[in-house]
Amino acid sequence: MNLTERDKEIIKDCIDRGVPLPTKYRLMLFEDTKEVELLWQGKSSEVTSVILPFQSIEQIDEPRGETGMDVAGLFAADLRGRQSRGWTNKLIWGDNKLVLSSLKNGPIRREIEDAGGLKLIYIDPPFSAGIDYTINVDIGDEKEQVEKTPSVLEELAYRNTWGQGGNSFLSMLHERVPLMRDLLADDGCFMLRIDHHWGHYVKVMLDEIFNKNLFQNEIVVNRIKKNVTNKGRRTIPNAVDSLFIYFKTDNSTFKNILKKLESTRQGYWHNMESAGIPGPRQIIIEGKTYFPSTGAHLKFTQKQADEMLNVGRIRVNPKNNKPEYWVEPKDFDALDSNWTDIPGYSFSTNYPTENSEVLLERVLEVSTNPDDLVADFFCGSGTTLAVAEKLGRKWVGCDIGRFSIHTTRKRLIGVQRQLKKENKSYRSFEILNLGKYERQYFVGIDPNLPEEQRKIQTIQREEHYLTLILSAYKAERAFQTPPFHGKKGSTAVFVGPIDAPVTSIQVNEIVAECRRKKISKVDILGFEFEMSLTPMMQDEAKQYGVSLSLKYIPKDVFDKRAVEKGQVVFYNVAYVEVLPKVKGMAASVTLKDFGVFYRQDDLDTLGEKLKAGGSKVTVENGQVVKVTKDKHGKINREILTKKWTDWIDYWAVYFDYENRKEIIRVVENGKEREIWTGNYIFENEWQSYRTRKDRTLELTSILHEYEKKGKYKIAVKVIDIFGNDTTKVVEVKI
């Protein structure tokens, strides 16, 4: 090794300052330096290995509640038509880094292997820093819309992705793609879609992760439906994205490399001179001799040409007097790397950057067989999952956005309904999250510790947790007024536990303590609230002179920057009223009322900012309001949510709640065991929801038949137009 004294000084200085060595010295010092390597500020080889248990919060396998579905061929069903065994598809709400690590290292990994292994991972990460992720949300029965801006959590995820430009985007991918690679089956395939801004960097990074010898191709994907307009001489408009394809190992293969398009299914005449027949070879058609050109991409053997002549699949086009041949599905129509013959994007759900189903149909047919397991860890509006369900593939989907999960849920139920209508098989799916275990992880509690050690750690971290929540709520810590944890002006503040819901017993005790200490206002903050809590408790508290407010703690509190910038919003718990009706051995449920308390903008400030002739739809005090300013500067307000049902996008019923306990598998001291969380899984037995085409909403469920007499609890889940859910439980006697 030839190092000068100056070289040694530079190396020592880098080590002393804790900064990376210049590439020149890394190449000199380390023999195993990669042939080509992509470096950026913040690059790290560390990959998380945390294992967090998954909580199953909803199960959906009966898209309209009828019994006796025909599900033969995919899984066995019980008498009610529910899936009783086999793989259950999974829709996961959460940070995909934690989700991927928990899938790779946790108990669900065995389920994946038992299902044949993960054969395809397709991802379309947020690869453009300028994309607006605002979504237009439909309101009620009318065609009015309100903009849903990303939640603080979604904004932070996006800001984390692009906070330092390409450096943070590459770091985000570099933390996740190795986990995806390790999750793939040995014969699995990985596909990543990206545009021209960062595709060349990502390609080098993927070569490092997968090995460049396993790179298969760069597919050109159509970016828009219509022809690109001329944007001027400074810029050539971009019309395509790239789709990078890698195999996990040499055992991987493509499953189908033939185009599957409507045009090829119907067949068409193709110009023979553009296809070419190896030759020169003359072809005589109706007494005329032709010498088609040679060397084109599609070629026929002499035997094929003779066969085509014999069956009349070669003709002379009467319009231009040129020879043509007839193309049928799968005949000489192989795929290449140019996929601009199909749309790359679709906008069927109002979701930004939504991939087209035609594109995903081709992706799945190229890389998988029916019954294979596929995954999309940036699933957005659920295109990959919807196409997988239609094509008979099993799937796993993940997204950090609550609205994304809700949009995907509706879309998949729609697919289930259609398949059921066509008497085709479909699988159940469950909605999972990391729930309280993710929250524990964020505050430094290891959920994999034995229960006693975890309790000790929870006590040790309690003060940190309370300070975190109160700071985000802009409240002061208070030590001398138990059970209250803080105060905000003259209002006492109680912070619910990190790993359990706030109960009605706790609320009653807090109200009693307010009366004793003559406290007139109290805010109760919680990640979850017991389903028995109702607005009546707030009304009862008022009778005792106590103003009671129940507010959700958003997951945004765990991002320090969001707290420091005052961006965390605590929303009041919505309320829902339902009326059960018993008829003989059956019961139904009717929605009677629903209310929310959202706010997006200050109306006065918004009106002042509007230009003359401008308008904006916003949310104020639980109402959607359209603010307009006429040419004279006069500001008008129109309430668009005319009735309480306008807030409801979706509702579902489980007629026998508490019949199915939520059992999770946890790993403690390297051993796996099952525990009951204390919660129950919501089995989605019946639902009504609005779509873009159909804005109607049923307010009364089906009449559900019970098999035997007794008391039953009925759970009703209501999801508002922003994707937030509220659950109410009522009891009936059959």
pLDDT digits (tens, 9 = 90+) for 645-656: 888 989 999 999
Please state the domain count of the chain. 5
- Residues 447, 309, single domain; the answer is no
Residue whose C-alpha is closest to residue 186's, from 247, 227, 233:
247
Residue whose pair of structure tokens reads 């790290």 in the numeric block:
44
Does residue 473 share a domain with residue 448? Answer: yes
Say yes or no: 320 and 180 in one domain.
no
Tell me the per-residue pLDDT of 181-231, one tens digit each, with 9 for 90 and over: 999 999 999 999 998 888 999 999 999 999 999 999 999 998 764 444 444
**Do residue 307 and residue 197 come from a single domain?**
no
43 within some domain: no
Q: Which amino acid is at 404?
A: S
87 by DSSP, 3-state: which? coil
Residue 139 included in any domain = no
pLDDT at 158: 43
**Are 93 and 7 contained in the same domain?**
no
Give backbone dihedrals phi and psi of 212, rounded to 5 degrees, phi first: -60, -20
Q: Domain for residue 319, yes or no?
A: yes
The torsion angles phi and psi of 377, rounded to 5 degrees, stand at: -95, 5
Do 394 and 374 form a contact (C-beta atoms < 8 A)?
yes
Give, as one character, the DSSP assignment of residue 557: G
Check pLDDT > 80 for residue 535. no
Residues 523 and 557 in one domain: yes
**Does one domain contain both 386 and 456?**
no
Alpha-carbon gap, residue 436 to 527, rounded angstroms: 9
Q: How far are the Cα atoms of 20, 39, 445 from residue 14, in angstroms, in the given order?
A: 7, 17, 35
Give the Cα separation of 153 and 196 in Å (integer): 27
222/275 same-domain check: no
What amino acid occupies position 545? Answer: G
Report pLDDT for 263. Answer: 40
> The tokens of 551 are what?
């507010």
Asked whether residue 189 is assigned to any structural domain, the reply reads yes
- pLDDT tens profile 253-280: 998 776 654 443 456 676 666 555 544 4
Give the residue from 438, 467, 482 where a domain finishes: 438
The answer, as to whether pTM is greater than 0.85, is: no
What CATH number is given to the structural domain containing 459? 3.40.1350
**196-205, 381-390, 536-545: least confidently modelled range:** 536-545
Instruction: Report the pLDDT averaged over residues 667-691.
Output: 84
Note the Cα 690 to chain centre separation in Å: 19
Q: Is 641 in contact with 142 (CB distance < 8 Å)?
A: no
Domain membership of residue 151 (yes or no) is no
Mean pLDDT of 560-565: 79
> Buried (b) or exposed (e) across 477-502, using 16+ Cβ within 10 A?
eeeeeeebbbbeeebbbbbbbbbbbb
Mean pLDDT of the chain: 81
Given a cut of 60, whether residue 615 has pLDDT beyond it is: yes
Q: Are residues 618 and 703 in the same domain?
A: yes
**Tokens at residue 437, please?**
């275990």
* Same-domain pairing of 288 and 426: no
- Same domain assignment for residues 114 and 246: yes
Residue 41 counted as domain residue: no
How far, rounded to the nearest angstrom, does the alpha carbon of residue 18 sit from its chain's CA centroid?
38
Structure tokens at 132: 């607006």
Domain that holds residue 345: 55-129+165-257+336-438
Residues 394 and 463 in one domain: no
The two structure tokens encoding residue 398: 């993940």
Rounded to 10°, the helix 402-421/383-390 angle is 20
Question: For residue 103, what pLDDT is reported?
Answer: 96
Domain closes at, from 275, 305, 327: 327
569 part of a folded domain = no
Tens digits of residue pLDDT in 692-729: 788 889 999 999 999 999 999 999 999 988 788 889 99
- The answer for residues whose C-beta is within 8 angstroms of residue 681's C-beta and 6 or more apart is 56, 57, 58, 59, 430, 660, 661, 662
Whether residue 379 is contained in a domain is answered as yes
Q: Where among 516, 531, 564 does a domain terminate?
A: 564
